[in-house]
């Protein structure tokens, strides 16, 4: 097992180097730079040249890459041109705001999908299965911005049950303790609902398909032939094996907890890292854009590595490959 873990870890190094090269050179293909994006009519050509020299934008691409990569190895992602602070500090400031709604949506989505997907597989082609399939495909087909705007119209504007956007109520910055917690949760309901509707639909189909494959296996028929209770057959034998493919899927969900949801956060004006990342792209804030993209790439590799290890522990045959 240790050899398998070391081998998989070493494979991540060239992958990470390749990702850094691709990310950097794709970013420089974007027209313009931070100086151009400000669109200051009073900015002279000479001053613009001075700013590009100050930010290192006038250097050759290969020198800019090696400088950026060298600093990144030392844990220095540079300074955000927009926020005027280190990129690591910007990420720390906003990433936990994204984490709380992502974690809430992840827990709810997986719980709902596991229950509904299992029931749909057991009751295949029944009214429950057909109804679930209809709602699942409806939720999957609607884009997140449409769902977000629809929920805002119904539950925030018309009914007034929840706030339109933001993370806390304006003027309530001094709230602490339980009152602050309730205020944040109240603002979380709509964005979390959008994320759950989108993610739960895909996960439900995944769990349903996986469960259908398992309950058709010979060992499930044998368990039933031995007279075991149906609940024991489903939850002790079938469900455990149906969850094995979900290990890989869960590995990819880990980086998603910190990546933020760009569209959802923008619609609900949620101060998360996804909204900040989108702004960095629009104004060509290269240090923040590159730093967070590499941060997400590292998290994705770590998530994949963890899922591979867990899968190797669950299925020893994987270690031989």
- Per-residue model confidence as pLDDT tens digits over 287-297: 888 888 888 88
In the predicted model, is pLDDT for residue 174 greater than 70? no
In the predicted model, is pLDDT for residue 106 greater than 70? yes
In the predicted model, is pLDDT for residue 318 greater than 60? no
> What is the pTM for the complete model shown?
0.77
Query: What are the DSSP calls for 163-204, one per residue?
Result: -SSSSS-TT-TT--HHHHHHHHHHHHHHHHHHHHHHHHHHHH
Q: 147 or 259, which is more confident?
A: 147
Q: 237 or 87, which is more confident?
A: 87
pLDDT of residue 319: 54
Burial of 199 (0-12, 13-18, 19+ CB in 10 A): buried
Q: What count of Cα atoms within 13 Å lies in the side-chain half-sphere of residue 20? A: 22
Those residues with Cβ within 8 angstroms of residue 254's Cβ, 6 or more apart along the chain or in another chain: 299, 302, 303, 306
pLDDT of residue 152: 92
What CA–CA distances, in Å, run from 158 to 16, 139, 143, 168, 217? Answer: 49, 22, 21, 20, 51
pLDDT bin (cut points 50, 70, 90) of residue 250 is: confident
Per DSSP, 31 falls in state S
**Domains along the sequence of the chain with CATH:** 2-86 (no CATH), 90-320 (1.10.3720.10)
- Tell me the sheet residues that pair with 80: 85
What is the average per-residue pLDDT within 1-9? Answer: 75
- 276: closest CA among 121, 89, 132? 89
pLDDT bin (cut points 50, 70, 90) of residue 39 is: low
pLDDT bin (cut points 50, 70, 90) of residue 32 is: low
Q: Which range among 88-92, 222-226, 247-251 has the greatest average pLDDT?
A: 88-92
CA distance 234 to 158: 44
> CA angle, corner 32, sides to 27 and 38, nearest 5?
115
CA distance 107 to 88: 27
- Looking at the chain, how many residues does it have? 321
Q: 300 or 309, which is more confident?
A: 300
What is the average per-residue pLDDT within 183-199? Answer: 89
Percent of the chain with pLDDT over 90: 4
What is the average per-residue pLDDT within 117-139? Answer: 85
What is the average per-residue pLDDT within 168-193? Answer: 80
Those residues with Cβ within 8 angstroms of residue 19's Cβ, 6 or more apart along the chain or in another chain: 294, 297
* Chain mean pLDDT for the chain: 81
Q: 75 or 310, which is more confident?
A: 75
């Amino acid at each position: 097992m240790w050899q398998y873990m070391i081998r998989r870890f070493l494979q991540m190094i060239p992958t990470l180097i390749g990702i850094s090269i691709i990310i950097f050179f794709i970013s420089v293909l974007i027209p313009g730079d931070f100086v151009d994006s400000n669109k200051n009519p009073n900015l002279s050509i000479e001053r613009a040249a001075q700013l590009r020299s100050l930010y290192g934008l006038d250097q050759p691409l290969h020198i800019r890459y090696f400088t950026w990569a060298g600093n990144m190895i030392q844990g220095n992602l540079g300074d955000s041109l927009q926020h005027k602070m280190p990129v690591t500090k910007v990420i720390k400031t906003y990433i936990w705001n994204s984490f709380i709604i992502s974690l809430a949506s992840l827990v709810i989505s997986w719980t709902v999908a596991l229950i509904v997907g299992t029931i749909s597989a057991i009751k295949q082609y029944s009214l429950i299965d057909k109804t679930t399939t209809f709602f699942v495909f409806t939720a999957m087909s609607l884009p997140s911005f449409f769902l977000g705007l629809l929920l805002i119209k119904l539950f925030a504007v018309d009914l007034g049950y929840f706030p339109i956007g933001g993370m806390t109520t304006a003027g309530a910055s001094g709230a602490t303790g339980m009152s602050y917690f309730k205020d944040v949760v109240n603002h979380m309901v709509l964005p979390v609902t959008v994320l759950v509707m989108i993610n739960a639909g895909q996960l439900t189909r995944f769990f349903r398909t996986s469960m259908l494959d398992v309950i058709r296996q010979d060992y499930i028929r044998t368990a039933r032939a031995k007279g075991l209770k149906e609940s024991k057959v489903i939850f002790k034998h079938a469900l455990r094996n149906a969850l094995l493919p979900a290990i890989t899927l869960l590995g990819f969900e880990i980086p998603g907890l910190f990546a933020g949801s760009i569209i959802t956060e923008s619609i609900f004006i949620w101060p998360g890292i996804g909204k900040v990342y989108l702004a960095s792209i629009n104004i060509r804030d290269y240090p923040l854009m590159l730093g967070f993209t590499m941060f997400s790439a590292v998290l994705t590799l770590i998530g994949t590595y963890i899922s591979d290890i867990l899968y190797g522990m669950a299925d020893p045959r994987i270690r031989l490959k």
